[in-house]
Amino acid sequence: MRTHFPFAGKPGRFSTRFSRPLLALLPVFCAAVVLSGCSGSSSPMVQPGATTVVVMASSTANDQLVALPLTLQSLMLKSQSGTTVTVFSTPISAEYIHLNGNPQPLVTASIPQDTYVSAFAVFAGAAPTCVGLHLVNSGMITPGSTPVVTVNLPQPIQVTGTAMAIDLDLQVSQSFQYAGGCTLGTSAPLNPTFTLTAMDIAAQPTNSTNGRSVGMYGVITAVNAANGTFTANGLNQQSGGPSPVWQVSTNGSTAYDGVSNLSGLSAGLPVDMDVSLQPDGSLLATRVAVVDANTANLDMLNGEVLNLGYPPSSLTALSNQAVGAVAINFEIVGYAQAASQISTQFPNVKNLPFPAVFQAASATPGQNLLVAANISYSNAFSTNTFPATAVELVPQTINGTVTAVSASGGFTVYTVTLAPYDLFPIVAAANAGQSVVPTAPNTVQVYADSSTAVLEPVSTGSVFRFYGLVFNDKGTLRMDCAQIAAGVAE
């Protein structure tokens, strides 16, 4: 069933309030040989003749959906000899749209060394979300009578060596489609379709294809200063299942923001971090940024701006991932006075040939934010507001057609035209008249330099996916781009 959210209140505003139903998780659908210690995100004890395998979660998507939290109950592999092994058998959730072209660790398992020729997963629930001019269309989808989902292996996966990674990539367009767009009354079935491939781990990972994961948002649960490690839980997902648990190591090259070093971290701190997979399958933090140093009654959400207040004194953002009171979408107030910051994932911001600035007071509809607050759930629920204490501009992926290429200040500039259903033009129309709404919301100027990972050669007239920070420069949308990948049909 789909839940629809028509306009409420003043013209031009979306109604985004909805509850997050708890997911009734399914029992394991298929019996299999369960390996001791093979589920969970911490590094398991590797058995003789076994390999530590890091399962990465990612997606391949256009911009039709703005969020897709999805929970899997289990994942199984079948070898060429017919043996079936369980990779994990406890529920695990991820929000797959923010993982569009950006794999992040899901679980770590100990897998017998063999050649695996097929796989299947058990689907436990999801909450796809799209945005139309008059509504946010979102609701829980639970499995039918056959919750086994398709997992395609383009080629056999050889599990060998001490450690390796496999990428479980959700093919969003094949899994879920709105017929005729996101309109009132629209509903569609969800048939999750994944592609599973082996991933190379470079000695020093540089991009999403060889072991680098960026923009991982979570909350620290434990710190072990003696061995230079910490544990963080990923933000909660609307689909209701447990989020990933990341065991992370640090070294002298780890960059910190908001704290000086590892000793400044403590349980309860929200973090925005980047990690690199190591040859033994462990996670090494290359960057750790503390979003809000106050852990009292901590609440944090990650999502795109939908509504601006009248006059701009509040905003509403999708809560795609959250912790604390924002299990329900609240109106965010006081954001103009909140501490404004830009993700430290992008060290070249100061070199951009335009004034790349971000102020919470001038956040534009469609931008992706991390918003933190310190308020108890009962107070937030009773007042229906979320008083922001920190607002961070964070990266997002856009899918669009390159219509022109130029150069400026050492950057290659791609003019990218967005599909009509893209979030930027949709929410710009709904917020028409606001001073911070872009003048051409269907076009983004994308800036790439030598630090940009170009995974697909760019040509005019073709569709590509661009991952980066989106700024509103006096009405023009401009992106500082970290990665360019093959696009998805619009």
Q: What is the CATH number of the domain that holds 438?
A: 2.40.50
Asked if residue 55 and residue 194 are part of one domain, the reply reads yes
Asked if residue 443 and residue 315 are part of one domain, the reply reads no
Range 368-387 average pLDDT: 75
Q: Could you tell me if residue 13 is inside a domain?
A: no
Q: What is the pLDDT of residues 316-368, one digit of tens each?
A: 777 777 776 544 455 677 777 788 899 999 999 999 999 999 988 788 999 99
Which residues have CB under 8 Å from 349's CB, separation 6+?
A: 342, 356, 469, 480
Q: Could you tell me if residue 319 is inside a domain?
A: yes
Give the range of the structural domain holding residue 220, as residue numbers without chain letter: 212-290
Q: What is the pLDDT of residues 396-422, one digit of tens each?
A: 999 999 999 999 999 999 999 999 999
CB atoms within 10 A of CB 238: 30
Q: Are 432 and 133 in contact (CB under 8 A)?
A: no
Of 332, 364, 393, the one marking the end of a domain is 393
For position 178, what pLDDT does the model report? Answer: 67
Q: Could you tell me if residue 184 is inside a domain?
A: yes
366 φ, ψ (degrees, to nearest 5): 105, -20
For position 138, what pLDDT does the model report? Answer: 75
For position 39, what pLDDT does the model report? Answer: 40
45 pLDDT above the threshold of 70: no
Q: Could you tell me if residue 305 is inside a domain?
A: yes
- Average pLDDT over the chain, rounded to an integer: 85
For position 27, what pLDDT does the model report? Answer: 35
Asked if residue 70 and residue 159 are part of one domain, the reply reads yes
For position 380, what pLDDT does the model report? Answer: 64
Asked if residue 422 and residue 388 are part of one domain, the reply reads no
For position 280, what pLDDT does the model report? Answer: 95
For position 3, what pLDDT does the model report? Answer: 37
Per-residue pLDDT band for 374 (boundaries 50, 70, 90) equals: confident
Among 241-245, 264-268, 321-325, 370-374, top mean pLDDT goes to: 264-268
For position 1, what pLDDT does the model report? Answer: 35
Range 467-484 average pLDDT: 97
152-to-104, 197, 304 alpha-carbon distances in Å? 19, 9, 31
Per-residue pLDDT band for 22 (boundaries 50, 70, 90) equals: very low
Pick the residue with more confidence: 314 or 225?
Answer: 225
Of 362, 393, 424, the one marking the end of a domain is 393
Asked if residue 145 and residue 87 are part of one domain, the reply reads yes
Asked if residue 468 and residue 427 are part of one domain, the reply reads yes
Asked if residue 384 and residue 404 are part of one domain, the reply reads no
Q: What is the pLDDT of residues 268-292, one digit of tens each?
A: 999 999 999 999 999 999 999 998 8
Q: Could you tell me if residue 29 is inside a domain?
A: no
Q: Are 302 and 369 in contact (CB under 8 A)?
A: yes
Asked if residue 257 and residue 218 are part of one domain, the reply reads yes
Asked if residue 302 and residue 177 are part of one domain, the reply reads no
Q: Could you tell me if residue 38 is inside a domain?
A: no
264 φ, ψ (degrees, to nearest 5): -80, -10
User: How many structural domains comprise the chain?
Assistant: 4
Asked if residue 379 and residue 303 are part of one domain, the reply reads yes
Q: How far apart (Å, rounded) are the C-alpha atoms in residues 323 and 477? A: 30
Q: Could you tell me if residue 279 is inside a domain?
A: yes
176 pLDDT above the threshold of 80: yes
Of 338, 371, 393, the one marking the end of a domain is 393
69 pLDDT above the threshold of 70: yes
Asked if residue 248 and residue 164 are part of one domain, the reply reads no
Per-residue pLDDT band for 376 (boundaries 50, 70, 90) equals: confident
Per-residue pLDDT band for 98 (boundaries 50, 70, 90) equals: very high
Q: The tokens of 239 are what?
A: 């689909």
Asked if residue 282 and residue 220 are part of one domain, the reply reads yes
Q: Are 355 and 361 in contact (CB under 8 A)?
A: no
| Predicted model pTM | 0.89
Q: What is the pLDDT of residues 191-206, one digit of tens each?
A: 899 999 999 899 999 9
Q: Could you tell me if residue 28 is inside a domain?
A: no
